[in-house]
Chain A
Amino acid sequence: MMIRKKPKKIYLNRSRGGNIVISIFLAAMGVFMALPLVYAVSNSIKPLSELWIYPPKFFVENPTLSNYRDLLSLMGDSWVPFSRYVSNTLTISVVGTAGHILISSLCAYALAKHDFPGRNIMFQVIVLSLMFSAVVITVPSYLIMSKLGLIDTHWSIILPAFCSSLGLYLMKQFMETSIPDALIESAHIDGANEFTIFWRIVMPLVKPAWLTLIIFSFQGLWGQGGTTYIQTESLKTLNYALSQIMAGGIARQGAAAAASVIMMIVPVLVFVITQSNVLETVATSGMKD
């Protein structure tokens, strides 16, 4: 048996070789992950002359914001006012996210803390739905949307976002581990009804989880092209408008680079702000068989 004199020494079984391997691996991965992003940003601040230089240069030499100005003026010229695309995307993101959190949390709470017939089968079906992606069912979804008269309305994007199964899954797992049954029990004894318990006790306790749901839902909705269900130009989204600029060919190459940076930077910034909450939530995402 060993006698612990310096506990820290025993705990850190770290070889120098291992540290070197880890550093090299992480550095290589870091370069691989970062380079395309850096290239995208660097491209967006290149003047046109540098964008078309041969051989291509990785880094910008005379940085300029002219591409962003071009993008702004292109936005001003567009047939549908650009503010329209922005407000469409905002409407979809805000309504979709708010509804998703409310509806999923209600359901997650009952699945996590109530015992009622059918609860296991419901949860199993939801877990099963994590195992395939929505793109697979595009054809029948389109038929359903048109039967419900949702084609060419924002609801065709918002309603499916309400019932995203990843959000519900994360919320349910988080509630299961972070809310003690005794707490709900004692609220019952004090005479609170189920809805009061949900709204006044459970929801404030799962703040990290609903912040996470906001991020994931927002990331999904922000990137929505929405071209499958929406045909009217004035109902289309920001992502669609920017991707039109990106597809605009050689003359708009600079503005396209600026547009792609804007599309990419927003979700990343949102994640930066909420990183610790997201990590706290996904820590409970484990799946049992």
Chain B
Amino acid sequence: MRNKTKYTLQRMRKSKVSYLFVAPYMILFTIFTVLPVVIAMFLSLTSFNVLQMPTFVGLENYGRLFLKDSVFMTGVKNTLILGVILGPGGYLLSLICAWFINELTPKIRSFVTLLFYAPSISGNAYLIWGILFSGDDYGYINGLLIRLGFINEPIQFLQNTDYIMPVVIIVSLWTSLGTGFLSMIAAFQGVDKTYFEAGAIDGIRNRWQELWYITIPMLKPQMIFSAVMSITSAFNVGAVITAICGYPTTDYVAHTIMNHLTDYGTTRFEMGYASAIAVVLFVLMISFNQFAKRFISSIGK
């Protein structure tokens, strides 16, 4: 044991240059990413309004969250619904699109890639959905439905509790083909073509079999990366809802944990309580991601 410590210390002394290389990044990373998480965990155990020093209240914030705050529970429910639909949904969409795009010729392929990727990088272009779904005379979708004779009166897509969640899901899916999608496109292109020839000789008959027996096993690392990207963004949905449907949504029908966090953190300045919300969201994101990682790497084992 002592020998091991001695040996590690020796190696550390030898690696001075390496530490010099990682130092600038790791220092900033600690200050702006690690430290905030630690502080959030600490603040979640206090009552804190920014003006006065935080006072320790133990688990009171968490008790209030889970036992008394019914709006929060709505938020948890909606976040989980969105997470379950948008996480795997956005992910499968990425996989299917990447797979199909890979069948195209190179020139068309780069055009379609650009078209599918564009919504996720075009800033707040999603606001256009607000106009498309608008319930007044200028809502294009309502105008179209009325002209085609499906409805007589405009549907209040952004206020009617039946429609808000579907609208949020559509808009979020629209922006869901991001970095993870690119990663899979690149991975598909990177698969060595000789594997397919070998597969064809070994009796692979169609592209489904090709995908299942050859491509997916080779793509696993990119699939895990892509899943992480898509789950993290699924749990992050909040600002989009406020931008399109307003805050709060009718009867909190699309209220997410993220909305709740923004509400307490930046409007009500109950920082202790907001930190408790942040910690719950943090734990949810990490555990869903870890689960997805395990699940995907266990496929076909």
Known: A117-B15, A143-B39, A278-B182. A219 touches B25 (CB 8 A): no
CB of A271 closer than 8 Å to a CB of B: yes
For window 15-47 of B, CB contacts with A under 8 Å fall at: 15, 17-19, 21-22, 24-26, 28-29, 31-37, 39-40, 43
User: A128 — nearest CB in chain B belongs to which residue?
Assistant: B286
Cα distance, A94 to B184, chains bound together (Å): 29
Size range of the chain B interface in the assembly: 35 or more
Known pairs A25-B100, A36-B129; A286 contacts B285 (CB<8 A): no
Interface presence of B2 (CB below 8 A): no
Would A267 and B129 be within 8 Å (CB), given that A11-B197, A137-B40, A138-B266 are in contact?
Answer: no
Cβ contacts under 8 Å, A56 to chain B: 137-140, 143
**What total of A-B pairs shows CB separation below 8 Å?**
287
- Within 8 Å by CB of B43, from A58, A133, A140, A160, lies A140
- Is B127's CB under 8 angstroms from A283's CB? no
CA distance A268 to B111 in the complex (A): 12
What is the chain A residue whose CB lies nearest that of B207? A18
CA distance A198 to B21 in the complex (A): 10
Contact between A282 and B275 (Cβ–Cβ < 8 Å)?
Answer: no
Q: A144 at interface (Cβ–Cβ under 8 A)?
A: yes
Q: A33-B174, A239-B123 are in contact. Are A107 and B25 (CB under 8 A)?
A: yes
Q: What B residues does A54 contact at CB under 8 A?
A: 137-138, 143
Residue among A30, A118, A136, A282 having the largest count of chain B Cβ atoms under 10 Å: A136
Residues of chain A within 8 A (CB-CB) of B147 are: 55
Question: A36-B174, A106-B24 are contacts. A131–B285 as well, Cβ < 8 Å?
Answer: yes
How far does the alpha carbon of A115 sit from the alpha carbon of B21 in the complex, in Å?
A: 12
Contact with A along B196-214 (1 / 0, CB 8 A): 1100110011110010000
**B224 interface contact, C-beta 8 A:** yes
In the complex the two chains form, is A285's CB within 8 Å of B266's CB?
A: no
* Smallest CB separation, A61 vs chain B (Å): 15
State the Cβ distance, B272 to closest chain A Cβ, in Å.
Answer: 9
Interface 1/0 per residue, B3-23 and A, CB below 8 Å: 000001001100101110110
Whether B201 pairs with A287 at a CB distance below 8 angstroms is no
Let me know if B52 is at the binding interface, CB within 8 A: no
B221 touches A286 (CB 8 A): yes
Q: Which residues of B contact A223 (CB under 8 A)?
A: 123-124
* Main SS class of interface, B: helix
Cα–Cα distance between A268 and B114 once the two chains are bound (Å): 8
Classify chain A's interface size.
35 or more
B138–A52 CB distance below 8 A: yes
B229 → A minimal CB distance (Å): 8
Q: Is B51 an interface residue (CB 8 A)?
A: no
Knowing A39-B140, A286-B225 touch, does A136 contact B115 (C-beta < 8 A)? no
Q: Are B297 and A106 touching (Cβ within 8 A)?
A: no
A247-266 with Cβ < 8 A to chain B:
260, 263-265
The winner among A29, A140, A272 for most chain B CB atoms within 10 A is A140
Separation of A43 and B140 alpha carbons in the complex (Å): 12
Give the chain B neighbours of A32 by CB distance below 8 A.
174
Nearest chain B residue, comparing its CB with the CB of A222 = B123
- Residues of B within 8 Å of A110, CB to CB, are 18, 21-22
Interface 9-residue window, one of B69-77, B80-88, B156-164, B186-194: B186-194
Chain B residue contacts of A159, Cβ below 8 A: 28, 32
A137 touches B37 (CB 8 A): yes
Distance between B33 CB and nearest chain A CB, rounded to angstroms: 5
Is there an interface contact between A166 and B179, defined as CB atoms closer than 8 Å?
yes
Q: Which residue of A lies closest to B210 (CB)?
A: A13
Nearest-neighbour CB distance to chain A for B257, whole angstroms, equals 9
Q: Once the chains bind, are B275 and A139 in contact (CB under 8 Å)?
A: yes
* C-alpha gap A104/B23 in the complex (Å): 10
Q: Does A153 count as interface, using CB distance less than 8 angstroms?
A: no
Do the beta carbons of A287 and B228 come within 8 Å of each other? yes
A13 in contact with B207 (CB, 8 Å)? yes
B57 within 8 Å of A (CB atoms): no
Nearest opposing residue in chain A for B134, CB measure: A56
B207 / chain A contacts, CB cutoff of 8 Å:
13-14, 18
**A129 near B33 (CB under 8 angstroms)?**
yes
Cβ of B53 to closest chain A Cβ, rounded Å: 12
| Top-10 shortest CB links A-B | A286-B221, A116-B15, A107-B25, A283-B186, A264-B122, A110-B21, A140-B39, A137-B36, A140-B36, A163-B28
Partner-A contacts on B (CB < 8 A): 8, 11-12, 15, 17-19, 21-22, 24-26, 28-29, 31-37, 39-40, 43, 96-97, 100-101, 103-104, 110, 112-119, 121-129, 131-132, 137-140, 143, 146-147, 174, 177, 179, 182-183, 185-187, 189-190, 193, 196-197, 200-201, 204-207, 210, 220-222, 224-225, 228-229, 231-233, 235-236, 238-239, 258, 261, 265-266, 271, 274-275, 278, 281-282, 285-286, 289-290, 293-294, 297
Sample 8 A-B pairs with CB under 8 A, ordered by A number.
A37-B119, A116-B15, A130-B229, A131-B231, A136-B282, A136-B285, A163-B29, A165-B33
